[in-house]
Amino acid sequence: MTSRPYLNRRTLLRRSAAAGLVTVPALGALSACASGGGSDNEPEERGETSADNPFGVTDSELEVVIFDGGFGDQYAKDAEAIYEQSYGSVDHTKTQEISSQLQPRLVQGSPPDVIDNDGAHAMEIAALIHDEQVYDLTELLDAPSLDDPNTKVRDTLMPTIVEMGQYGGQEVYQLNYAFTIYGQWYSRTALERIGAEYPQTWDEMLAVCEAAKREGMAGWTYAGQYPYYFNFTMYPMIAKVGGPEVLAAIDNLEPNAWRHDAVKAVFEAYYELTARGYILEGSPGMSHEDSQDEWNQYHALFIPNGSWVENESKANTPEDFRMAVGAPTGLDSSDAMPFGTLWASGSAPFFIPADASNAAGGLEFLRIMLGKESASNFTKLTSSLTCVRGAADDLELGPGLTSAKETFEAAGDNLVLPRIQDWYSTLNNEDIGGAIADMMAGNIEPDEAITRCQNAADTVAQDDSILKTRHV
């Protein structure tokens, strides 16, 4: 099916934003623009509902915007093709500039119907929720799943997915489509070349890095331009050392949460990597692609990352690399949680704007994506798991994803879920990430990095204009 032969107002706004003709208001200005006022979309008219069409989708155009990152967008196009078999045409756009292109349209009241709000330039979802600009997805979760009408969508999802979409209440505002295993990614081949086992304690980590150094290989590299990548291993290590309640205190912006002994121990451990010269030279200035390329060339043993890395770096990964991921290394036997403790949770967050002109179509599109056909297709295309239970069970997986699945299964109930990265993304990515970046570059020591993290968290805690969410 082809797109409609006319340009509606939201299509004009989308093209204007892409061309830089629409200015983006400051976040404070966005906070003053609640949804429901000034929308130029006509009220949505739903059709009759049925077992096959639980949301009453009518034959109207659906607009979908996908983040053009490590997962690409082919998986979305394939799901859109399924949608078009029964409903209207799909206007598909991919971009890395999510905020600059879409935030003006949300303010104007003419947003797309579905947004993959991902990447370094994602919109602050908490602020959008606060301004009532996000559609409640509870209707989707309580609908019959695509493959089994006797099973609700919510009952097909992996652990933590529903929780991740909640912001201080029972409503669910976003769907994290991918299921990511965060940890220390490495090459089994490289580890074997230096005659080492995967390190479970920090003394073992230092010994492995020293062995790598003797063979001309750095112990670690990382994306210095995106230093929050270090959080993918540091956060679960903090929970492992001190218990999950330490992460909960950090998420809740509690006073002195960053000064907990577990945080200090982890920062000092990571700083030792820098002090001993185990970080690949040049890492502080690298992009994620740069650091992954260096890692793929056996220039460094470990890299903090998520399970999207297998697909994102596949063009430069040697055939003999044997990519794998391990649970974050702990401190020692005094740790509060066992080795294997893992951060495994949803990523690739999707939401439907409150002012979407085809919210019913957006709900149905997400229901299609949560069907086994689309979920399995995503895994085949991206080498990443989805939030759908069992969707990858019958697939032949690459070495990285096979390792990720095994590491997740070995973790059992020892899963942690840091929320600061989606509750307060600017704090996480820029302030805390920046402090860790300076520490890992050797510019500051752990105590100063901790002070900066705590001061930044206190500033957010005291800012009444920022929506607060808490663990209960």
In a domain, 25, yes or no: yes
pLDDT at 159: 87
Q: Determine the 3-state secondary structure of 186 from DSSP.
A: strand
Helix and strand numbers, DSSP H then E, in the chain: 21, 10
Angle at 87 between CA 82 and CA 89, to 5 degrees: 85
Quick one: 50 and 101 in the same domain?
yes
358 domain residue, yes or no: yes
CA distance 391 to 377: 9
Domain boundary among 394, 425, 453: 394
365 and 240 together in one domain: no
Half-sphere CA count of 389, side-chain side, radius 13 A: 13
Position 1 in a domain:
no
- For CA atoms 309, 313, 319, 320, the dihedral sign is negative
* Residue found by looking up tokens 């229901």 in the block: 367
The pLDDT assigned to 338 comes to 97
In a domain, 109, yes or no: yes
Please give the full DSSP string across 75-126, using - where no structure is assigned.
HHHHHHHHHHHHS--EEEEEES-HHHHHHHHHHHT---SEEE--STT---HH
- Assigned token pair, 271: 């700083």
Q: Does residue 3 lie in a domain region? A: no
Contact 224, 284 (CB under 8 A): yes
- 4 in a structural domain: no
Range of the domain at 242: 181-345+405-461
Going residue by residue through the chain, which has 472 residues, state the pLDDT in tens, using 9 for 90 and above.
Answer: 323 223 343 444 443 444 443 333 333 333 333 333 334 444 567 889 998 999 999 988 999 999 998 889 999 999 999 999 999 999 999 999 999 999 999 999 999 999 999 988 899 888 899 899 999 999 999 999 999 999 999 999 998 899 899 887 789 999 999 999 999 999 999 999 999 999 999 999 999 999 999 999 999 999 999 989 999 999 999 999 999 999 999 999 999 999 999 999 999 999 999 999 999 999 999 999 999 999 999 999 999 999 989 988 999 999 999 999 999 999 999 999 999 999 999 989 999 999 999 999 999 999 999 999 999 999 999 888 999 999 998 899 999 999 999 999 999 999 999 999 888 988 999 999 999 999 999 999 999 999 999 999 999 999 998 888 888 7
Same domain (yes/no): 410, 276: yes
Handedness of CA 35, 41, 43, 45 (dihedral sign): negative
Instruction: Give the Cα separation of 41 and 393 in Å (integer).
Output: 42
Residue 34: its pLDDT value, please?
32
Whether 44 and 170 share a structural domain: yes
Residue 324 in 3-state DSSP? strand
Q: Is residue 472 part of a domain?
A: no
User: What local confidence, expressed as pLDDT, does residue 167 receive?
Assistant: 82
Q: Does residue 341 sit in the same domain as residue 358?
A: no
Determine whether 164 is exposed, middle or buried from the number of CB atoms within 10 Å of its CB (0-12, 13-18, 19+): buried
188 and 282 inside one domain: yes
Q: How many domains is the chain built from?
A: 2
Tell me, yes or no, whether 327 and 235 share the same domain: yes
Task: List the Cα angle 226/227/233 in 5-degree steps.
Answer: 120
- Do 416 and 291 lie in one domain? The reply is yes
pTM listed for this prediction: 0.81
Last residue of a domain, one of 335, 369, 394: 394
**What distance in Å separates the CA atoms of residue 295 and residue 317, rounded to the nearest whole number?**
9
Pair (236, 317) in one structural domain: yes
Q: Based on the domain organization, do 38 and 117 belong to the same domain?
A: yes
Judgement on whether residues 155 and 210 belong to the same structural domain of the protein: no
Q: Are residues 139 and 288 in the same domain?
A: no
Q: What is the CATH number of the domain that holds 194?
A: 3.40.190.10
The answer to whether residue 257 sits within a structural domain is: yes
Angle at 441 between CA 437 and CA 447, to 5 degrees: 70
Residue among 363, 342, 343, 344 nearest 352 (CA): 363
Q: Which of 288, 187, 276, 172 is nearest to 232 (CA)?
A: 288
